[in-house]
Amino acid sequence: MTPGGPRPVFSVSDLSAGADRLACQLSSTYPDGVLLVAVLKGSMFFLADLVRRMTVSVQVDFLGISTYAEGTGRVRITKDLDHDVHRRHVVLVEDVVDTGLTCSYILNELRGRGPASVEVCTLFDRRTRRIVPVPVRFAGFPVTDDLLLGYGLDVAGRYRNLPFVAAAPPGPLQADPDAYVAQLYGR
């Protein structure tokens, strides 16, 4: 990696250890099973690793979320759940909980459907940017304001498939979303 460019912050083994720890916590908290609701698309990689490590019955469902207008914090559901959450233990799985705006919206939506419980599991908890308080029961790693790429995290759809997570200066990506492709993919 070049100075001033992206730098690895979570290795494959770090991410694996985080998924192991969270899967163990979830399995012991929900011995009779749980419905994991993942937010598309960023949380797919984390969800897949999490589910494979759990030792209880797990069902998986997905929500698609979109913002109405950038910067407003207003969101809408673009893909709704296929499962009924009524009287079920539900865990919302996120890649990053940041400002809390989207997470709070989703939690309110889910609570309105009558689940037995709703909790949040996130791989990365960015408390420094929290605007809305969100109770995160299961958190993998605290993170700072760095722009994170890899393991589901992207800019304009790029970098999601990196097996590690890198922190990157956002400036070059605003001009060219492919700015770090050569560095991060070793080309």
Q: Per-residue pLDDT averaged across 89-105, rounded?
A: 94
Give the burial class of 99: count Cβ atoms within 10 A of its Cβ; 0-12 exposed, 13-18 middle, 19 or more buried. Answer: middle
The CA-atom distances, in angstroms, between 64 and each of 55, 57, 77, 79, 186 are 27, 24, 6, 4, 32
Q: What are phi and psi of 43, to 5 degrees?
A: -85, 0
pLDDT digits (tens, 9 = 90+) for 109-168: 999 999 999 999 999 999 999 999 999 999 999 999 999 999 999 999 999 999 999 999
CATH number at residue 59: 3.40.50.2020
Listed range (25-34, 70-79, 178-187) with the worst mean pLDDT:
70-79
Contact by Cβ (8 Å): 129, 98: yes
Active site residues: 98
The answer to whether residue 6 is domain-embedded is no
The answer to whether residue 115 is domain-embedded is yes
Looking at the chain, the whole-number percentage of residues with pLDDT higher than 70 is 94
The answer to whether residue 47 is domain-embedded is yes
The answer to whether residue 135 is domain-embedded is yes
The answer to whether residue 20 is domain-embedded is yes
The residue range of the domain holding 25 is 12-146
pTM of the predicted protein model: 0.92
The answer to whether residue 3 is domain-embedded is no
Confidence of residue 70 (pLDDT cuts 50, 70, 90): low
Q: What is the total count of domains within the chain?
A: 1
Residue 1 has pLDDT above 60, yes or no: no
The answer to whether residue 49 is domain-embedded is yes
The answer to whether residue 19 is domain-embedded is yes
